[in-house]
């Protein structure tokens, strides 16, 4: 009877405590849920909410090794770094526009971005040749230095501004090969009468040496060589040249690449498309271009030698070095072409002044650093392997 009395006394208290505990539990759950929802909302807000889609056209075949992969790598980096807020759809040459209409397509806003080589647009922007490669000029390491720390990029932007374009470095091949020929080159006389695919300022130099320079997209080179439309061609180097099968249509493979010692490719972005992005996405575009630019040079450095050995050992390619007197004649021809370029175009003269100043300084230092080390390594090691 005493226990029953106690139970009656404390039962209301127990029920009250249980109800309070249940209310507290529900309240804690609701608080956590609300916090979670606020976190998701904040994440969405931080992400900017809106998403963007770009189209990028290139001067290369879709997914072509080396050259064609810079745009693909850029696209991948942009999507990953933006968490999918900006996607870049890449189209190869001819899929949306022909290879040699990339500049115009981006300039006019037909597409948002493009990937190619600045010297293709020499007819529109004479100074553009400086932003790919100059015969006997800066190598890849030096070009990156000039562009990003020597004022070159700012001049590039100035040169492209009238076309509503924002240029960025888009990869480097390193020193290229002099090209593929169907006859041996023993003197400057052997260049006379040759039809060669060789763009940019080097094309003028070749023409002044007696040849005929033509600009043909990469996808047409094999057939042009095979059918005799051209007698010689320069493309890139062993890695790409093996992939294109040029050893099947030419006998002699010449070096060094006097015409393109450090070719920089380009990303061009429509200015309106870029400025329509939030600032963080604009920064991602710039950062992705810098990463893709370095990645291409790394890949060529890693793959060229194996491809060269395959061309020689497996395909019987005859590797030849251009004679010194031919190189000297081409150097002299380069000076003539350069003088004409800067005399005819004020912007080219402005860019050349910057390029030349940087060239003189970096060449002076590399005499006692990069070049001196390579010379010392060859003396010390010779033909021995590590």
Question: Terminus-to-terminus CA distance in the chain, angstroms?
Answer: 100
φ and ψ at residue 340, rounded to 5 degrees:
-70, -40
Count CB neighbours of 26 within 10 A: 10
- Residue 384: per-residue pLDDT: 65
d(CA 182, CA 137): 27
Adjacent-strand bridge partners of 180: 233, 253
Q: Please, which pLDDT band fits residue 38 given cuts at 50, 70 and 90?
A: very low
- Residue 343: CB partners within 8 Å, gap ≥ 6? 349
- Residue 386: per-residue pLDDT: 56
- pLDDT for 239-288, tens place per residue? 999 999 999 999 999 999 999 999 999 999 999 999 999 999 999 999 99
Asked if 260 and 133 count as a contact pair (C-beta separation under 8 A), the reply is yes
- Residue 22: per-residue pLDDT: 41
* Mean pLDDT along residues 41-58: 69
- Residue 376: per-residue pLDDT: 96
- pLDDT for 12-31, tens place per residue? 444 443 434 443 443 444 43
The CATH number of 52-172+263-299, from 3.30.70.260, 3.20.20.70, 3.90.1150.10, 3.40.190.170, is: 3.40.190.170
Sheet with strand 52-58: strands edge to edge: 86-91, 52-58, 113-116, 264-270, 165-172
* Mean pLDDT along residues 48-56: 88
Three-class secondary structure assignment of 248-271 = HCCCEEEECCCCCCCCEEEEEEEH
Adjacent-strand bridge partners of 321: 255
- Residue 236's SS3 state is coil
- pLDDT for 108-130, tens place per residue? 999 999 999 999 999 999 999 99
Adjacent-strand bridge partners of 268: 114, 167
149 pLDDT above the threshold of 70:
yes
| pTM, full prediction | 0.85
* Mean pLDDT along residues 83-104: 97
* Mean pLDDT along residues 295-302: 97
Q: Please, which pLDDT band fits residue 224 given cuts at 50, 70 and 90?
A: very high
Domain ranges across the chain: 52-172+263-299
């Amino acid at each position: 009877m005493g226990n029953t009395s106690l139970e009656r006394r404390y039962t209301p208290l127990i029920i009250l405590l249980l109800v309070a505990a249940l209310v507290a539990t529900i309240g804690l759950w609701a608080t956590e849920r609300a916090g979670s929802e606020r976190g998701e909302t904040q994440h969405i807000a931080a992400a900017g909410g809106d998403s963007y889609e770009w189209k990028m056209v290139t001067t290369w075949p879709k997914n072509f090794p080396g050259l064609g992969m810079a745009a693909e790598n850029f696209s991948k980096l942009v999507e990953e770094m933006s968490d999918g807020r900006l996607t870049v759809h890449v189209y190869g040459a001819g899929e949306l526009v022909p290879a040699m209409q990339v500049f115009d397509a981006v300039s006019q806003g037909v597409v948002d971005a493009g990937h190619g080589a600045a010297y293709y647009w020499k007819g529109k922007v004479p100074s553009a040749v400086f932003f790919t490669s100059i015969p006997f000029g800066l190598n890849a390491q030096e070009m990156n230095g000039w562009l990003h720390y020597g004022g070159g990029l700012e001049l590039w932007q100035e040169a492209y501004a009238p076309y509503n374009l924002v240029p960025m470095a888009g990869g480097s091949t390193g020193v290229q090969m002099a090209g593929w020929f169907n006859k041996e080159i023993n003197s400057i006389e052997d260049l006379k009468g040759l039809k060669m695919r060789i763009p940019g300022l080097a094309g003028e130099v070749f023409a002044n040496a007696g040849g005929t320079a033509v600009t043909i997209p990469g996808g047409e080179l094999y057939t042009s060589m095979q059918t005799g439309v051209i007698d010689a061609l320069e493309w890139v180097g062993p890695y790409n040249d093996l992939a294109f099968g040029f050893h099947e249509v030419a006998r002699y493979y010449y070096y060094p690449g006097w015409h393109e010692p450090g070719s920089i490719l380009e990303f061009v972005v429509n200015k309106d498309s870029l400025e329509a992005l939030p600032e963080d996405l604009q920064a991602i575009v710039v950062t992705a271009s810098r990463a893709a630019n370095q990645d291409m040079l790394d890949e060529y450095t890693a793959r060229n030698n194996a491809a060269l050995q395959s061309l020689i050992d497996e395909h019987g390619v005859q590797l030849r070095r251009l004679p010194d007197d031919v190189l000297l004649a081409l150097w002299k021809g380069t000076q003539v072409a350069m003088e004409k370029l800067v005399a005819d175009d004020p912007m080219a003269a402005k860019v050349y002044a910057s390029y030349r100043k940087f060239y003189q300084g970096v060449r002076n230092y590399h005499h006692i650093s990069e070049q001196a080390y390579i010379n010392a390594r060859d003396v010390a090691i010779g033909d021995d392997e590590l």
